Structure 1
Amino acid sequence: MTQHNKINYIEIPAKNIEATKAFFSEVFDWSFVDYGPDYCSFAAQGVDGGFFKSELVVSTKNGSPLIVLYSNSLEETQAKIEKSGGKTIKPIFSFPGGRRFHFSDPSGNEFAVWSE
């Protein structure tokens, strides 16, 4: 449901749309709708969004917002990420309220995964 003044959609750069789709499908079971060779969208993943073809990357070092996903099992999710071509860029650490790690997808974008 679209709500007034709420975050509704997020767009993320991807160097390789097909590799990005494969990665997020394998690791997080996302599905996509293609809108030509340079854009695909995803829905029902907490917030809807899409990936657009670009050489740019999302990184907290560059001041980008950090997209944080949730997992019931951090270690299992981390293993799936690494098996599917992602890289752990900040190992699992504790913070008030849980634990998390940061990873990069095949395009080099930084994301995080957390759990209680």
Structure 2
Amino acid sequence: MDSRIEVVVAAIERDFCDCKLNCETLAGLVNLSPSRLHHLFKTETGEAPMTFINCRRMREAEVLLTTTFLSVKEVRYRVGFCNYGHFTHGFKRDHGVTPGKYRAIAGSKVRIVETSPAAPLSIAESDTK
């Protein structure tokens, strides 16, 4: 992978929760124009930079919705969506339900299992039916 894209991916992983993170900011990190970054990023990763960022944000939202008692508004803020409507619409587009409904469904069907302190949390189906 192009070293500039590696820098951008690392910046996204570090700063995805900043709602001001955008292509212009990322392009500045690697001295590219936003359009050149968009083209190079899509060539290297198969996704546009903002699609990549929003997918990362949605993955984090899934974790927070299923492992915390934070309000949906707080989850939205913590994963980097400044606009509540954009978060809710994007979440529903990706998951078929609103964030609140996702939490209710996930809460009734899963239990959280911690595999080890160093390993990420995994979700296992509940034994109760």
TM-score by length of 2: 0.24
* More strand as a share of residues: 1
Structure with the bigger RCO (C-alpha within 8 Å, sep 6+) is 1
TM-score by length of 1: 0.26
* More helix as a share of residues: 2
